[in-house]
Amino acid sequence: MKCINVSLAAGFMALLAMLGTNAWAGTFANIVIDGAFADWAGVPVLDSDPADNAGSVDIADVQIANDNHNLYIRTTYHGALAQSTFIAMDVDQNTATGFDIFSLGLIGSEAGWQNDFAFEQFTGVYNTGWGLSGPNFGGGHALMSPFGDSSSREWSISLSAMFNPAGLYGGGSIFPDRNFDILMWTDVGAGDVSRPISYMLTVPEPTSCLLGLMGCCLLIGKRRSK
């Protein structure tokens, strides 16, 4: 069998260097939205909020992951109440634009979800009256499980979701680049918020990519040795 040539080896090392730069920015995972949470094992907790909304929806831990098609969020609660939980997304990571949750200056949200329902937000405006567009019932909505109250809940938001062309943002992706901020919150009881979480969409873990590339290189080597 002939050895893999120098150009293939150089390409392999270049990919390794590239992946080493960005691969750990977020967590790449394939999550099934089914109300079973075993597939969240290994996904780090990005925020832990203390018990501070007694007798109501009280946010605890927040985990976030993504694959090539979806953003995944899981929230646990102090207790068994989950309705109504909001997701606020600061697309441009600018607190001066978008809706300011509870006027705390933590986030400027352009896109929001109430439980699974998607809508557009704007500076000073909780809901502009325009929804989103794209996958999940044609409205950029979230897939969510379980739907009712629970001590843990998971969501899937399509990375192809768009602002409604008729809305104030005039269309465009709600994920224009890999970086954005997320805040989990509720307005029931005394109200509760997580800390704003800065997240960067990531690519598959280096191990899986390198194994795939090594397999391709070996296949090429076998073909050349024949």
36 is written with which tokens?
A: 């079973």
CA gap 136, 134 in Å, rounded: 7
SS3 of 75, please? strand
CA gap 98, 127 in Å, rounded: 10
pLDDT in tens, the chain (226 residues): 223 232 323 333 333 333 333 334 699 999 999 999 999 999 999 999 999 999 999 999 999 999 999 999 999 999 999 999 999 999 999 999 999 999 999 999 999 999 999 999 999 999 999 999 999 999 999 999 999 999 999 999 999 999 999 999 999 999 999 999 999 999 999 999 999 999 999 988 665 444 454 444 444 444 555 5
For residue 184, how many other CB atoms are within 10 A of its CB?
23
Q: Which CATH class is domain 25-225?
A: mainly beta
